[in-house]
Amino acid sequence: MAIRFTPKLFQRFSQITRPLNSSPSTLPVLPFNFDEKSESFVVKKPETETKTKTESSILNFENTQELFPTFSTTKLIRSVFNLNMASIDPVVDMGIWVMRSKLLDVPGFRQAILGSVKHSFYEQFVAGKDLKETSETVQKLYGDGLRGMLNYGLEHAYDNDSCDQNYKTFLNTIESTKLFPPSSVSFVIVKISAICRMDLLEKISNLLRWEKQNPSFKLPWKQNSLPILSDSSPVYHTLDKPDPLTRQEEQDLELAHERLSKLCQRCLELNVPLTVDAEDTKIQPGIDYLTYNSAIEYNKLGDTPIVYGTLQAYLKDAKERMLLATKAAEKMGLPLGFKIVRGAYMSSESKLAASLGYESPIHNTIQDTHDCYNDCASFMLDKIVNGSGAAVLATHNVESGKLAATKARELGIGKENERLQFAQLYGMSEALSYGLKNAGFQVSKYLTFGPVEEVIPYLLRRAEENRGMLSSSNLDRQLMGMELKRRMKAIVGL
């Protein structure tokens, strides 16, 4: 139904959006990650700090008409409403409670709730219920100059049957890229915890930590890999010597290798890179082990990596682990790719460390996290130039985006370079995405998709873990509000 604008409606809208529409120069800097806590990730620049002309002008947020040219007015209104609602903690709390309550077992109630969610938050943050709908989303984004990172919301398998089923789903996602417009899909995402049993992944991680502490400790099942842990990596997860893998566990680990290898092989054949998402530190060593093993096998076959790992910069050992892995890869003549994020498990990581009497593995201050992220991004930009690396800079942080874009331009890295990709979540940080695209860089949207019953619980878990995933939307709300007011003024002749 068309929306009719009148001076009275414009006046009321101005009152509603006024708190959101301060000058862009005074906007709080958004946090990075796909799942991080907004209020904890605000950078406050010193008053004496000034921006260089290049840095301040590389991303233009002043012309909202250029930022949202393909957004219909209806879509802008819906986005502002959804982002506002998703930033309210009681709304998130209520959503989590309802989705986990027995009320969903009441006849009719489940359909009503899922229907309500589907036409609000689901439409905002989810790319589609299946590959057909997601394909339509990708085509729209591609028409806007953006690409898609396909992520079916699967994780945490506890038996081999589930691992096999998840593997087939990931493979089907990879196969579907043949039907998408050429180059419209930048990556397919996979979670190792969905194709390797959780208990096995945790045991592998414990054994790898124990090996790091005791170099004489041998792991007969261990295949080629890159350095996984550093001297500063947390080892409190493994306080006692773990039992060796049983014969059955070794066979199950081999199955996990095979699942990941087959996915990588198909990505290689279709020329679509595969990115392995990071998870919590309890299982991350096992994830990195499997990822690096596949990277050694498949990245050596071309100049551009096929297999990318993920680095969480809020971890104190992140930069050290990255340096060790890239140095080892260079010795092997192996191009290495990383998706660099800030991190998504702040609450659980800190609680686990505290329960065991250890310091959190996460940086003590937010500025340390920002510095680590920016240092890692800068390091990988240098590797892109010398041909030994590739990076997906996944950030919702405007300052990180500006710093990376400025250095990339200085190094001569532009849209034609497949080794650099900026990325933001679908439905979030639209201004940053389009600002980077307008500045001449390749930009992707991280597209989670799947049926509402499967994906909404996944999003709610992420929201509960770190509410910033749904609340780090200040910039979008402000700029979208400004664009709506501009359009309304044009319509009523003000």
DSSP 300-346: GGSSS-SEEEEEETTBTTHHHHHHHHHHHHHHTT--EEEEEE--S-H
User: Can you name the residues that pair with 341 across neighbouring β-strands?
Assistant: 312
Q: What pLDDT score was predicted for residue 199?
A: 97
Q: What angle do CA 309, 127, 346 make, to 5 degrees?
A: 45
Residue 364 domain-assigned? yes
For residue 423, give the 3-state DSSP assignment: strand
Alpha-carbon span 184 to 47, nearest angstrom: 42
Residue 93 domain-assigned? no
CATH number of the structural domain spanning residue 382 = 3.20.20.220
Residue 107 domain-assigned? no
Cβ burial, residue 171 (10 Å; 0-12/13-18/19+): middle
Residue 482 domain-assigned? no
Provide the domain limits for residue 249.
31-60+127-449
Q: What pLDDT score was predicted for residue 6?
A: 45
Q: Which residues contact 483 (CB under 8 A, 6 or more apart)?
A: 64, 65, 67, 68, 71, 76
Q: Note the pLDDT tens digit of each residue in 291-329.
A: 999 999 999 887 899 999 999 999 999 999 999 999 999
Q: Which residues of the chain fall below pLDDT 50? A: 1-53, 466, 469, 471
- Relative to beta strand 307-312, strand 147-152 is unpaired
Cβ-defined contacts of 410-417 (< 8 Å, 24+) = 410/54, 411/381, 411/382, 411/384, 411/385, 412/385, 413/381, 413/384, 413/385, 414/440, 414/441, 415/440, 415/441, 415/442, 417/384, 417/442
Residue 76 domain-assigned? no
Q: At what angle do helices 398-410 and 366-386 cross, to 10 degrees?
A: 20
Residue 367 domain-assigned? yes
Residue 115 domain-assigned? no
Alpha-carbon span 19 to 35, nearest angstrom: 25
Q: What pLDDT score was predicted for residue 40?
A: 34
> What are the structure tokens assigned to 371, written together?
């510095």
Q: How many structural domains comprise the chain?
A: 1
Q: What pLDDT score was predicted for residue 7?
A: 44
Q: Note the pLDDT tens digit of each residue in 24-36.
A: 333 323 333 433 4
Alpha-carbon span 77 to 341, nearest angstrom: 29
Query: What is the Cβ-side half-sphere exposure of residue 423, based on CA atoms within 13 angstroms?
Result: 30
Residue 52 domain-assigned? yes
For residue 306, give the 3-state DSSP assignment: coil
Alpha-carbon span 26 to 466, nearest angstrom: 25
Alpha-carbon span 172 to 178, nearest angstrom: 11
